[in-house]
Structure 1
Amino acid sequence: MKMCIEAQRYSLNGETMGTRYTAVFYGPAGFDTAVIARRLSQAVTQVDEQMSTWRPHSNLNQLNAADLQHWVDVPRQLACVLACAERVRHESEGAFDIAVGDLSSAWGFGPNAPTITAETLEPLPRSVMRVSRAELVVDLERNRVCKHQPLVLDLNGIAKGFAVDEMARCLNEAGITRYLVGIDGEMRASGVKPDHTPWVIAVEKPCRGMRDVMGVMELADAAVATSGDYRHWVDVAGRSYAHTMNPVSGLPASNNLASVSVIASSCMLADAWATALMVLGETQGVNLARQRRMDALFIVREGQELREISVVGGKLQTSVETE
């Protein structure tokens, strides 16, 4: 049953995936939020338990350890995320690829990853430094997966976005139509506020070691996700390497992009495409966003300055210089 009176604002939050989730929504006065709070917590916990590389017994880690040429039964949610990841890999021509688990670990990211120094960096085996176009077959009808080549899957570039979509599903099922849910920079909005204004999302300034707002964007019935170089990185021999891996080169992404924000119909898609465009860089990424008629905001580092490149509906907007 849809709610008729949506005048009162409610806010819920909790811990998940090493950070916090938030849900802001409007409902009738005196609405009991206990059930919603429990469902939101269960939804994000389920995603983490299925898709985290940090949980030894997660469904993802079980799939990583499975034999080749062997069908592995997986939860429906995991199967959907894997299928979406493979689709974006194909459409991005390999810029987004979840088969980067070995690369992430080799470069010091992820669970049990080594500390990277100039000495440990040099002898990294070439088999780890490259990612093959490993074949992964996802059977959505039977919720099962088969690996045809050795690979280690990492869903850090898509799972958080899916968790946000699961939060949205919980609110939709409760009949809540005006909400904003999010985990860090991954957000999804439904409807507008009671005063008919859209939700306003802060665009974070891509600066390491601090949190500052660079600007804002309006969001209604859409999702946004951001990929950047300013939250997780390693410094080796005077050079900084961000955590986003380039599946083609087998190295951390290396270009002038500080961050990419993508608006899409689902947060899962926005999350994956933000990662892909971050890998492609300020030229190829912008071109692909235009070709696919996407909505994306690129923030480019030029020395100590930042420059914005906006693509709206596939159309390139005027670049803006920022401090």
Structure 2
Amino acid sequence: MSTETQRYSLSGETMGTRYSALFYAEPPVDEDAINKSLFAAVDTVDQQMSTWKAQSALNRLNAAPEQQWLPIPEELATVLATALRVSRQSNGAFDIAVGDLVNAWGFGPDEQHPTAEHIRASDRQVRTPATQALEIDPQRNLARKRSATTLDLSGIAKGFAVDEMARCLDGWGITNYLVGIDGEMRARGVKPDGESWVVAIERPRRGIREVMGVMEICDAAIATSGDYRHWIEVAGRHYSHTMDPALGAPLSNSLAAVTVVAATCMLADAWATAFMVLGETAGPELAQERGMDALFVVHDGEQFREISVVAGCLQAQIEAR
């Protein structure tokens, strides 16, 4: 039997989309068993953190009475604690206490359609951030709501699911892989030729799927947030699915997309959302302060402009056709 490294590609359905795993390993490899474990990993996240599943652990927390400690799965406790930390570090730009907004604007399971009056009313709403409304005891895997809130993890859960895929392959002793769900991906090791993994960056145009550029990653994760995949039109205006906690409504700034490279996909996912909300000035400034890697794509008329931050250093801005 050959012991030469071979290429394997596995995939399946999850979270309304598909997961994928590309890896190199020496045979024999039980592809069916590995794929079953990959599905189990992402399905666990979906069953715990989906707002679309009535009996998910997240929805049970959303429905729980205030001031009552509720046992939650360890994975959910990890994601909630991380979400609160990123919220504090981003000065509230990343906030998971936006579930009511997500639903009201037609992006949740209720699939409501907002009206012009709803848009005006949302500007007058007083909101409590998750950092004040939620308390987590990660040591005991407990959570409680200090005040009424509806949590939504769409800006972080998918990234965590990718990390769980990586953990799964690690458990199989696989050390060279690229795993992903949509634009959230995580890589370990390199390809057999020693080259890093190459990830395509999509051009942020609505209704068009084309590559704008590529990034090479090795032992890192990448995630993109943008205004071009999920959106609605109200009174002739387009609204993104990403909520701005300060506005109490979908974000309204010049950013088309933000791509973040981080140690874990959960962090890359959350920070991509936070930077989208912060906008083209405050976003790059905070990325520099925190020494992060991020690519900001800005609407510039009919074209795009790129702002790149590498290891916290601002690079020259360029036009992206």
Residue of 150, 153, 156 corresponding to 2:151: 153
Change (3 A) 1:124 1:301: closer
**Which residue identity lines up with residue 271 of structure 2 in the other structure?**
W
**Which residue identity lines up with residue 140 of structure 2 in the other structure?**
R
Change (3 A) 1:98 1:173: same
Structure 2 counterparts to residues 192-203 of structure 1, below 5 A: 192-203=190-201
- What is the match of residue 246 of structure 2? 248
Residue of 124, 127, 131 corresponding to 2:127: 131
SS in 1 for 2:179: strand
CA distance in 2, matches of 1:77, 1:179: 23
Q: CA deviation at 1:320?
A: 1.2
Residue of 240, 258, 261 corresponding to 2:259: 261
Residue of 79, 83, 96 corresponding to 2:77: 79
Structure 2 counterparts to residues 158-237 of structure 1, below 5 A: 158-237=156-235
SS in 2 for 1:166: helix
Q: CA deviation at 1:116?
A: 2.1
Structure 2 counterparts to residues 2-21 of structure 1, below 5 A: 7-21=5-19
SS in 2 for 1:307: strand
Change (3 A) 1:255 1:123: closer
Would you say the 8 A contact 1:6–1:194 is kept in 2? no
CA distance in 1, matches of 2:293, 2:227: 20
Is 1:278 aligned to 2:268, yes or no? Answer: no
**Which residue identity lines up with residue 279 of structure 1 in the other structure?**
V
Structure 2 counterparts to residues 83-102 of structure 1, below 5 A: 83-102=81-100
- TM-score of the two chains, using structure 1 as the length reference: 0.96
Would you say the 8 A contact 2:305–2:320 is kept in 1? yes
- Quote the sequence identity (%): 60
**Which residue identity lines up with residue 217 of structure 1 in the other structure?**
M
Q: CA deviation at 1:6?
A: 6.6
Would you say the 8 A contact 2:122–2:248 is kept in 1? no
Residue of 6, 22, 29 corresponding to 1:31: 29
**Which residue identity lines up with residue 128 of structure 2 in the other structure?**
S
CA distance in 1, matches of 2:62, 2:10: 34
- What is the match of residue 319 of structure 2? 321
Moved runs in structure 1, 4+ residues, more than 6 A? none
SS in 1 for 2:151: coil
Question: Quick check: 96-105 or 130-139, which moved more?
Answer: 130-139
Residue of 115, 118, 122 corresponding to 1:117: 115
Would you say the 8 A contact 2:133–2:148 is kept in 1? no
Structure 1, unpaired ranges of 5+: none
Q: How many residues align?
A: 318
Change (3 A) 1:314 1:6: farther
**Which residue identity lines up with residue 306 of structure 2 in the other structure?**
E
**Which residue identity lines up with residue 147 of structure 1 in the other structure?**
K
CA distance in 2, matches of 1:125, 1:305: 30
Would you say the 8 A contact 1:6–1:26 is kept in 2? no
Change (3 A) 1:123 1:92: closer
